[in-house]
Amino acid sequence: MKKIFAITLFFLIGISLIFSFSAEAQENIVPSWIKNTTSFWVDGEVSDTEFINAVKFLIESEILVIETESLIDDQGDFYITYKENPNTPFENSSRDWLISNEYLELQTEFLNELFRLPYDVEILAMECDEANMFYDWELKQIILCYEFIDQVYVDFTAYYEDNPDLHVTDDDITVMIYDVMDFIFYHEVGHALADVYELPITGLEENAVDQFATMSMFFYEYEPDADVITGQDILYNVGTWFFIQTQNNYERIYWDTHNLDIQRFYNISCYSYGQNPDYNQDLIDEGWLPEDRAINCEYEYITLIDSWNKLLEPYYQ
């Protein structure tokens, strides 16, 4: 039975994966100890666990390199269009702020290096008469409203003016705006990828792309020789912004596909804690994240990372 299973297993793997060995392993094609281990496993002399650990060793040591074939050719790119911003309430418009900081240029460069696209997806910065950022399924556009950037600035400024004991500077608020922009932008990128790749999403897509945005924040590397972990601190500021929304008198729409802001605050706090419990112990100590939720946060974090990586792996460059 094991022999049949082994043959079937390697046949299926051969169909779906391309195997290539490192230069060292290519000399003998397959090292003798691999052959022996496989033979012992088929004959029942090696346990399933020992056999699986041997295969894991091959992969982790890059003796066995597994390359997945992309499901699509790279025929498209994310690209940017800026429309005018004549109705800005500020001396320096959000349009000028975006362009001077090359915010969207940096994001599109990163995305185009990471993903294969079957066609172009436009990132359109424009006035919308509302503070919003959204994805248009019909036009294949991520639409960034200048009013959204304006509103995030107003939200943070008003909150910290009302809480002067928190001692934040204008530079701090600028960083916070960047961080919220990053999260909401990658939330919309998540919608775009789900559409472009026709990804199977179970449950509410809004929850799933919040998780994608969270994962994207962890792409930011740790700062060397510092006590700051960039991705974690981005999520801290994003969580703070969602918390601020709960303090404002915005209408709470219970039937909406988005979670309530306070739920998004707790979810982001949980994923952050799950990724690095030691760094985020203050979330529990200061009462921001209930211990009843924190118990499962490492599992929640691992699940969201594994799930999104499995969905997107065929489309990475």
What percent of the chain has a predicted confidence (pLDDT) above 90? 61
Burial 20-51 (b: 16+ CB within 10 A, else e): ebeeebeeeeeeeebeebbeebbeeebeeeeb
Does the CA dihedral 275-281-283-289 come out positive or negative? Answer: positive
Query: Which pLDDT belongs to residue 41?
Result: 77
- Residue ending a domain, among 29, 45, 68, is 68
In this structure, what token pair is assigned to residue 43?
């004959």
292: how many CB neighbours lie within 10 A of its CB?
7
Same domain, 294 and 160: yes
Domain range for 306 is: 78-315
**149 and 169 in contact (C-beta within 8 Å)?**
no
Model confidence over 243-302: pLDDT tens digits?
998 877 667 788 888 888 899 999 999 999 999 999 899 999 999 999 999 999 999 999
Q: β-strand 141-145 against 64-68: which pairing, if any?
A: unpaired
Same domain, 83 and 46: no
**247 and 159 in contact (C-beta within 8 Å)?**
yes
CA of 266: how far to CAs of 77, 287, 293, in Å? 34, 11, 9
**215 and 162 in contact (C-beta within 8 Å)?**
no
Model confidence over 204-243: pLDDT tens digits?
999 999 999 999 998 765 444 445 467 888 999 999 999 9
Q: Which residues contact 25 (CB under 8 A, 6 or more apart)?
A: 31, 63, 64
Same domain, 94 and 34: no
Number of domains in the chain: 2
Same domain, 109 and 258: yes
Same domain, 62 and 84: no
**119 and 76 in contact (C-beta within 8 Å)?**
yes
Same domain, 150 and 54: no
Same domain, 119 and 178: yes
Query: Which pLDDT belongs to residue 229?
Result: 67
**261 and 242 in contact (C-beta within 8 Å)?**
yes
Query: Which pLDDT belongs to residue 51?
Result: 76
Alpha helices, DSSP H, located in the chain = 2-16, 23-26, 32-42, 48-60, 94-101, 103-114, 146-162, 170-196, 205-217, 230-247, 261-275, 281-285, 291-294, 297-312
**217 and 234 in contact (C-beta within 8 Å)?**
yes
- Residue ending a domain, among 68, 98, 120, is 68
The pLDDT-based confidence of 30 (bands split at 50, 70, 90) is low
Same domain, 256 and 309: yes
Same domain, 197 and 117: yes
Tell whether 26 is covered by a domain: yes
Whether the predicted model's global pTM rises above the 0.85 cut: no
Radius of gyration of the chain, Cα coordinates, nearest whole angstrom: 24
Tell whether 73 is covered by a domain: no
Same domain, 108 and 232: yes
End-to-end CA distance of the chain: 39
In this structure, what token pair is assigned to residue 138?
């019909």
Same domain, 144 and 58: no
Same domain, 59 and 83: no
**121 and 74 in contact (C-beta within 8 Å)?**
no
Model confidence over 163-178: pLDDT tens digits?
999 889 999 999 999 9
